Structure formats: C-alpha cells, structure tokens
Amino acid sequence: MQCFGACGRVLLVSVAFVAIFVASFVQPASSANILGVFLSPSPSHLIVHMSVVKALAEKGHNVTVVTLLKPKIYHENITNILIPPTETDQAKYESWVAELSNGKSNILHGLVVLLTTNRVKIDMQFEAYVDKRFTALYENRDNQFDVAILGYALNYYQLAVGAKFNCPIIVSWVQQPMEGVNALVGNPREISYVTTLMNAKATGEAWNFGKRLENYLFGTILKGVTLIIDHLMSGYYSKLTAVEPNLPTFEAMKRNVSLVFCNSHYSEGPIRPLTPATVLIGGIQIKEKPDALPKNIANFLAASQKNGAILFSLGSNIKDSHIKPEILQIIYKVLSSLKQNVIWKWENLANTPGNASNILYQKWLPQDDILAQPNLRLFITHAGAGGIAESTFHGVPMVAIPIFADQPTNSKKIVLEGFGVEVDFDQLTERAFRNAISEVLTNPSYANKVKAFSRLYRDRPMSARRSVVYWTEYVIRHRGAAHMQSPLVKMNYIQSANLDVYLLILATLFVVFKLLHLAWRYLWSKVFDEKIAKKPKEK
Ligand SMILES: *[C@@H]1O[C@H](CO)[C@@H](O)[C@H](O)[C@H]1NC(C)=O
Ligand SMILES: *[C@@H]1O[C@H](CO)[C@@H](O)[C@H](O)[C@H]1NC(C)=O
Ligand SMILES: *[C@@H]1O[C@H](CO)[C@@H](O)[C@H](O)[C@H]1NC(C)=O
C-alpha cells in the first residue's frame, strides 16, 4: 500500500522528466516575433536584409518586415508591409541615380549631392516611417516584438522603433563596419591602418607615411560627412518627438543598439579590432547551395560548355536608359563578337541593343545561382558590393565598370587583390573593354587568386546564416546585449581619446617643472649673490 503512493509519485515524476526531455528535442526553440524595418530604396540593400530575416523565418520565427520595395526574397512566415514611395519621389530618386551614373563620381560626391540638392533618398524613408500602414503596427497593442532589426542607410532616427515596441534593436548593415555603425557599437577608430570607405588598400600592408596621411585626410573628410549626417538624422528624430514627446532622446536611442550585423568577413580585410557586438555575416545573401536555374538560362549555359559563359550586369540601380547610346554600342559590339556566351541583365526586352546569337537578355536574373555555375568564366560588373561578394564566394574573376557610390572603391580593391581588372565607364573605348575581357579570360592568375580567396572566405566556424540565428536568439534570450556593450558608446571624444588625462599630466609636469625651475633659480641666486657680494672686495 505504501509503495503504491510512493511508486506512483516516482512514476509521475519520471514520466514528467521523460516528457520534458522529449519535448526539448522535438519542439523548436519557441517562435519569436521579429520586426524588420527595411526602408532603404536600394534593391541591393533589401536583398541583404531580407536574407537576414529569411534565415530567422527558416528557423521557425514569425517575421514582419516593412519595406519600400517589393522584396525578391520570400518566405511563408515573413509578412511584408509594403509602403511604396510616391511616384514623384520615385522619379526624383531615379533622376538622382541617373545623375550620379553620368558623371565621374565617388562615394563622397554622391553623399554631397544627396545631402544638398537631392535628399529624396532620406525623405522617402521618412515618409514611409510615419506612414499609417506602419504606425498602425504599433498602435495595435496586440503586436509584440521580441527584437527589431533596422536596415541601416541614412535612416537611423528609426532606432526609435526600439522604444515604440519596447524591444532590443539589431542594426543590419550591408558592408564592412564603417564610421556610422562603428559609433553605435564602439568600434575603435584606427585611422593609421584601417581603410576608410573611400580609400581602398590591399589588406595586411603596413602603410608608409604617405598612405597614412592620405587615409587620415580621407578619414577626416568622412568624419565630417558623418557629423553632417548625424545632424540631419537628429533633425528627423526631432520631427518624431514633436509628435510623440515621450520618446527617449536620440542620444539614448543610439546607445540602445544591441548588435550590428555587418555583411563582411575578415578575410576581405581590413584586419582591425571589433567589439563583440559587431557580428560579421559576410555573404548572408549568398545561398550555400544554388537553386535550379530558370529553364532558358540553364539551357543557354548548357550550350556554353565549350567556351564558357560570361555574366554582364550593371546592377539593379542602373536602368538601361541611364547608359549613353555610344557606350551601349561599344558594349554590344564587344560582347557580340566574343566566342563565349553572354547573359546580359537588360530591362527592356522589347528594345535590346542587338540580336547577336551569343547573347541572352534577361530582365531579372538569379545572379548568385548563375555565378555558382562551373562554366561561368567571367563576371562583368558595376562593382556593387553584393555582386562582388557573390563572385568572390563562387571564385569567378571580374571586369569592373564602377559607376558611383562605393563602386569605384570596390573596384580598386578588385584590382589590388588581383581578382580582375577595371575599365572606365564614361570613357569606355572598344579597345579598352575588349582588352580587359581578354586579359581576364586568358591570364589564369585572376581566376586562381579569386578561387584561393573563395576557399578562405567560406572556411568559418559558423555559417553566416547560423550566426544570424544564434546572435538574434541570443539578444532575444537576454533582452538585449547591454552586458557586452563597449563603454566607448557612452563616451565623448575627449573622454575616449583620454585627452583630459593627458592634459592633467601635462599640466602637472608643467607645474612641477616650473616649481623646480623657481627653486633652482632661488638656490642659484643665493650662491651667486654671495659670490658677487664677496668679489668686489678683491677688486
Ligand atoms: C511557418 O510557421 C508555422 C507556425 O509556426 C509553422 O508551422 C510552419 O512550419 C512555418 N513554415 C515554414 C516554411 O517554416
Ligand atoms: C506574427 O506576428 C504578427 C505581428 O506581430 C502577429 O500579428 C501574428 O499574429 C504573428 N503570428 C503568429 C503565428 O504568432
Ligand atoms: C532584333 O529582333 C527583333 C525581333 O525579331 C527586331 O524587332 C529588332 O529590330 C531586332 N533588333 C536589331 C538591332 O536587329
């Protein structure tokens, strides 16, 4: 009888343990609600951010994303709130891209134009951020988010979502850590050996005086631009607080970032110290295994076994109409005369540059899946960061035709690393273009170097996808990551450079020196005066 009760309890407890044990294996980590705010009007940015949340949806989380553009990456458990820009804004944005692509341009010029004559890239994001379709999301009290991921691009007043939903914030940035995101997580500014965006240098090189001076000057200009941007962002944040006075200060929101995901990997350089809150997820947009190609592309590539194939794309920002007709004719003439087959990203299929049989025009193409094909021999690219990452991941050498923004710098890097050659877009000549293509196709050094890099880039303890899942769940589990925030985030320039301490030491040294000097003069005058006092007697 006694045994009955005791044994029953033991049995119950054991069953409970077994149940918990089994459950812990069968059930996925509990599903979190995740918000993505991806309002950048750049399609290549959206691909990176969507790849981040796709990894989370695949892990079983419930993801809601707010976007300006219709994402090309989908998942059943990603709900998209689409807030397209007004037609006027879209037209302004396109004319801005067209203007930049026609002039010789670098990131600095692009930024100056953006911040002065054409602020549409910033304004269209702000309009979407205060749009009813988005605000409805937080006005509905039933919506609870465990973490919000913000796609960073001239929009960090949007860090306010962390306060709106009372949830931790992760920032997603499409490139290597730079000035703006470094400030959010306290990465030290290492100007004597870490490149600024405008100033590509080969990795691993210790710079001489000239290079350090150049980097310092570029870095200072960039710092200035960053301060101007910060001032602008603060202005937009004030517009938010004007409507919602209970929002914390902008400074407080900037100190509230748990992690930054940067779409880069240290094998790309520069080698530099990063805080643990900087998580490198380089190549997140690249599939570990390519998807099957659309039938027409698969057939076209299958027919390219003998001479191999070339992919030509100027990216998603540049429309066909942005390319000058004479440049287009040169490109067509050279590509149509090659023995390789060419896949050409071209929007207007009703009006193509020409009908050569070795060219397949595609309005939209699965670039990553195409670059993964073994008979792809060359990628002719505008040197956007995303395309370069895919090309280097798959070990395909490049001919770069940089147009604007960060592309000229990316392109210099391709040349420096020996992954390909560069041609000038505005002054493109038939000869230069033909020579560039022929050089990369016939000299094996480019393919060898990029393939060697590919092996290093892929060799990691955790894939980019797994890093995203691990670190996002980490932030959710601990309700943020304040414990690993660098104190630098809360320090001003004087404190972080220790200037006040140096000043005190200098002042102390000065006072001590002054006192010693006075004491010495006093003693000396004592001795000297006595001598003088004695001397006149002898004379
Ligand atoms: C989407 O979420 C539901 C509910 O959590 C889950 O049952 C389903 O498997 C998810 N779909 C995918 C493709 O992961
Ligand atoms: C997913 O998140 C949205 C937004 O918070 C919410 O409305 C929806 O109910 C969630 N779905 C599930 C299955 O939890
Ligand atoms: C290419 O072919 C299309 C349809 O066959 C034709 O309308 C067009 O004029 C051709 N273009 C050129 C440049 O020959």
Pairing of strands 62-67, 420-422: unpaired
* Residues in the chain with pLDDT values less than 50: 1-5, 20-28, 539
Give the tokens for residue 252: 């407080």
Closest atom of ligand 1 to CA, residue 60: 14
What pLDDT, on a 0 to 100 scale, did the predictor assign at position 115? 72
| Residue keyed to tokens 């420096």 | 416
Q: How many CB atoms lie within 10 A of CB 374?
A: 10
Pocket of ligand 1 (CB under 6 A): 31, 60, 76-77
User: Could you tell me if 263 and 166 are in contact, meaning their C-beta atoms sit under 8 angstroms apart?
Assistant: no
* Distance of CA 471 from the midpoint of ligand 2 (Å): 21
What pLDDT, on a 0 to 100 scale, did the predictor assign at position 121? 85
What pLDDT, on a 0 to 100 scale, did the predictor assign at position 40? 93
CB contact set of 468 (below 8 Å; sequence gap of 6+):
52, 55, 56, 261, 279, 281, 284
CA distance 390 to 387: 5
User: Could you tell me if 151 and 55 are in contact, meaning their C-beta atoms sit under 8 angstroms apart?
Assistant: no
Give the tokens for residue 43: 């399609």
* Distance of CA 284 from the midpoint of ligand 2 (Å): 25
For residue 323, what are the CA distances in angstroms to 302, 326, 465?
Answer: 30, 8, 36
What pLDDT, on a 0 to 100 scale, did the predictor assign at position 295? 95
Residue minimizing CA distance to atom 12 of ligand 2: 62
Pocket of ligand 2 (CB under 6 A): 33, 62, 64, 143
* Distance of CA 53 from the midpoint of ligand 1 (Å): 14
Any idea which ligand is nearest the CA of 352?
3
* Distance of CA 40 from the midpoint of ligand 2 (Å): 24
Closest atom of ligand 3 to CA, residue 355: 1
Name 170's bridge partners: 149, 259
User: Does the reported pTM lie above 0.85?
Assistant: no
Indicate the SS3 state at residue 189: coil
For residue 385, what are the CA distances in angstroms to 263, 376, 531?
Answer: 9, 19, 81
* Distance of CA 77 from the midpoint of ligand 1 (Å): 6
Name 311's bridge partners: 343, 379
What pLDDT, on a 0 to 100 scale, did the predictor assign at position 16? 52
Backbone angles phi, psi at 324, to 5 degrees: -65, 140
From 123, 121, 128, select the one nearest 80 (Cα to Cα): 128
Pocket perturbation via mutation, ligand 3, pick of 351, 355, 361 by most ligand atoms within 8 A of CB: 355
pLDDT digits (tens, 9 = 90+) for 340-358: 999 999 998 999 999 999 9
CB contact set of 100 (below 8 Å; sequence gap of 6+):
109, 110, 113, 403, 404, 405
